[in-house]
Amino acid sequence: METRDIKKLNDQFIINTYGERKLALVRGEGTNLWDADGNEYLDMFAGIAVTNLGHCHPAVTEAVCEQARKLVHVSNLYYIEPQVQLAELLSKHSFAARWFFCNGGAEANEAAIKIARRYWAQKGTPKPVIIAAEQSFHGRTMATIAATGQPKYHQGFEPLFPGVQHVPFNDIDALGNAVDADVGAVLLEPIQGEGGVNVPDEDYLGKVRGLCDEKQVLLMFDEVQTGLGRTGKLFAYEHYGVTPDVMTLAKGLGNGVPIGAMGCTEEVASGFDVGSHACTFGGNPLSAAAALATMNVLVTPGFIEDAARVGAHFFAGLNQLAGKYDGICAVRGKGLMVGIEMKEPVAPLVQKLLEAGIICGSAGPKVLRFLPALIITSAEVDEVVSKLDAALGER
């Protein structure tokens, strides 16, 4: 099928929640994508930080094919071999002692919100309120849009799920003033993604940890976008020397195969018991096998360090452009999570880059966003910097 044929069927049968889409992508390999008309693109968005190993990574492809030939699905009423292997590997490389698997990031954050509420209820001291940050993004379910600190996602869905308060990100005083006896957990992205690639002060998360300890409040990190090598560490919390009580993952965990995870300490895990939470497809044999293969690549010695070096090279090039063009306000991020704040809306710039064969995105109206696969090369990011330079020169 050609793009026009795919678009025609889309317009006829798909609910339009994504607006006008520019491409019909049909094939990928590594950092490259091809559309239905045969045009090639350098993918600097990775499906919104999902294909961290690049498209059709051989290890993941082989794991999926092998598992599909053996067993695609059984429910969580039975033990699942790749699921328990995945949990063991995640625990080996993180603080979390226990895991719950689901289908994606919103469900992982739902699990975090539920376990926080139930943990305190089980202790006989209910603390139903969750504090989240303004400009945050935690998902599209009713609970997670309530946790999301961007009013544009709330429109038409009121009344929202109760018991969520928002405070400014990176403001420890505002958080301290908001914590009272009803607050059971603080939910934060270590680096805000959809809200503009907002990086906190180096000591902010440490202060949050101290406040949570003082007030007996759970600290929960949404690492759906920041986790799994994206920021130059396996998990973003490692940059700050801060250990949460709960962490959520998804996006890059299965390198494109849908899977989410909520990990927590042994103590917090006591908040769930038999029958308190479930997910039909969560961590089924196919998705767990894909995630296990993905994790085994990510934890290969030197893999994330190499990606971090390319990220530093990318930032150096972008900062040179920031010195050249006064339309650039700031270059933000860590590793290969990159945001460029502009004075003007970035939609025309995203389109110019697309016409030049570069796929990227935005984080709000004025932040250009790059989230390439972690296998991106220095030569490829140099190409992006060059084409961005040309596009900016035309503005």
Per residue in 238-252, pLDDT (tens digit) is: 999 999 999 999 999
Of residues 101, 137, 169, 235, which has the active-site annotation? 137
> Where residue 283 falls among pLDDT bands split at 50, 70, 90?
very high
Helix (H, G, I), strand (E, B) or coil at 49: helix
Compute the average pLDDT of residues 155-184. 97
pLDDT at 106: 98
Of residues 222, 233, 272, 315, which has the active-site annotation? 222
Amino acid at 16: N
Of residues 251, 272, 314, 370, which has the active-site annotation? 251
Contact 42, 64 (CB under 8 A): no
Contact 373, 309 (CB under 8 A): no
> For residues 151 and 70, what is the distance between their CA atoms, to the nearest angstrom?
46
pLDDT at 60: 98
Residues across the chain: 395
> For residues 75 and 254, what is the distance between their CA atoms, to the nearest angstrom?
18
Domains of the chain: 3-56+302-393 (3.90.1150.10), 58-298 (3.40.640.10)
pLDDT at 48: 98
Contact 248, 111 (CB under 8 A): yes
Contact 252, 71 (CB under 8 A): no
Contact 51, 284 (CB under 8 A): no
Amino acid at 81: E
Compute the average pLDDT of residues 327-331. 98
Alpha carbon separation from 154 to 157, 158, 161, 193 (Å, rounded)? 6, 7, 10, 18
Contact 391, 356 (CB under 8 A): yes
> Where residue 331 falls among pLDDT bands split at 50, 70, 90?
very high
Helix (H, G, I), strand (E, B) or coil at 193: coil
> For residues 283 and 257, what is the distance between their CA atoms, to the nearest angstrom?
11
The beta strands (E) that lie in the chain are given as 25-29, 32-35, 40-43, 98-102, 129-133, 164-167, 183-188, 218-222, 246-249, 260-264, 328-334, 337-342, 358-359, 361-362, 367-370
Partnered with residue 249 across adjacent β-strands are 261
> Where residue 395 falls among pLDDT bands split at 50, 70, 90?
low
Q: What are phi and psi of 364, to 5 degrees?
A: 90, 175
Q: What is the mean pLDDT of the chain?
A: 97
- pLDDT at residue 288 tops 70: yes
Assess whether 222 carries a catalytic annotation: yes
Assess whether 152 carries a catalytic annotation: no
This prediction's pTM: 0.97
> 200, exposed or middle or buried, with CB in 10 Å at 0-12, 13-18, 19+?
buried
Rounded (to 5) percent helix, strand, coil in the chain: 40, 20, 40
pLDDT at 394: 85
Compute the average pLDDT of residues 119-123. 97
Alpha carbon separation from 136 to 56, 188, 215, 302 (Å, rounded)? 31, 8, 23, 31
Q: Which two tokens stand for residue 274?
A: 């038999």
Compute the average pLDDT of residues 358-382. 98
Specify the pairing of strand 358-359 against strand 40-43: parallel
What is the edge-to-edge ordering of all strands in the sheet holding 367-370?
328-334, 337-342, 367-370, 361-362
Helix axis angle for 285-298 and 81-92, nearest 10°, is 30
Compute the average pLDDT of residues 38-59. 98
Residues near 79 by beta carbon (within 8 Å), at least 6 away in sequence: none
Compute the average pLDDT of residues 95-103. 98
Cα dihedral 189, 191, 192, 194, rounded to 10, equals -110
> 43, exposed or middle or buried, with CB in 10 Å at 0-12, 13-18, 19+?
buried
> For residues 311 and 374, what is the distance between their CA atoms, to the nearest angstrom?
9
Assess whether 366 carries a catalytic annotation: no
- Write out pLDDT tens, residues 290-327: 999 999 999 999 999 999 999 999 999 999 999 999 99
> For residues 203 and 201, what is the distance between their CA atoms, to the nearest angstrom?
6
